[in-house]
Amino acid sequence: MKNLVRNLKLAMATMVIVLAFSCSSEDGEDGAMGIQGEQGVAGQNGANGTDGVDGEDGNANVIASDWFGPTGQYSINNGYTSYAELEVTVPGLDTETYDSATLLVYAKFSNFIPEVWPTNHSALLPLTISGGTTGHFFTYYYSSDILKIRYRRDPEQIDTSFSTSTRFRYIFIPASTLASKNNIDYAKMTYEEVMDYFGLGY
């Protein structure tokens, strides 16, 4: 009887050892994967902003000279006509841009009687002044990057020359400026209107 009990205990111990070695944590089945959560909703892209309108060039590039006299004038007689001429350099203006730019040249005189030319009156060239039996013609042209102002008389005089009291002033309006793009006819404006338009002094 004792032998039977001992044999049973031995057999049970052996089974426990076998079960212990045959089972481990690694041998268990993998658990089922959990359910994946729903993906969040993506936010909407913001609307693109509207491109701004390019600004137009203002009138900052308009160049106005001070009043100047006929310094450096010279007389020319080409065999047919006698006239006086003077040369002026206009900063920023050259032959290439002259055709597209606007160049205004004004004159004022103090050597005529008020009935012929009012005091402090300024006018755009070209112009003609009739003083009694004499005609005075003032014109200008642009050549070789130089502004040239010309004066002749009718009837002609061999010593034709500008009066030293004559004064001129130019306004140079580049084609890129708003003032040029507005296609204003400055010839229809008085000197004072043009100066006010550009905010310049008289």
What would the pLDDT profile of 93-137 be if each residue is shown by its tens digit? Answer: 999 899 999 999 999 999 999 999 998 999 999 999 997 788 999
Is the alpha carbon torsion for 59, 62, 66, 67 positive or negative?
negative
Q: For 61-99, what is each residue's pLDDT tens digit? A: 899 999 999 999 999 988 888 999 999 999 999 998 999
- Mapped onto helix, strand or coil, the DSSP state of residue 96 is helix
Q: For 142-151, what is each residue's pLDDT tens digit? A: 998 999 999 9
Output the pLDDT for position 21. 45
- Mapped onto helix, strand or coil, the DSSP state of residue 131 is strand
Assign 3-class secondary structure to 7-48: HHHHHHHHHHHHHHHHCCHHHCCCCCCCCCCCCCCCCCCCCC
Q: How confident is the model at residue 8 (pLDDT cuts 50, 70, 90)?
A: very low
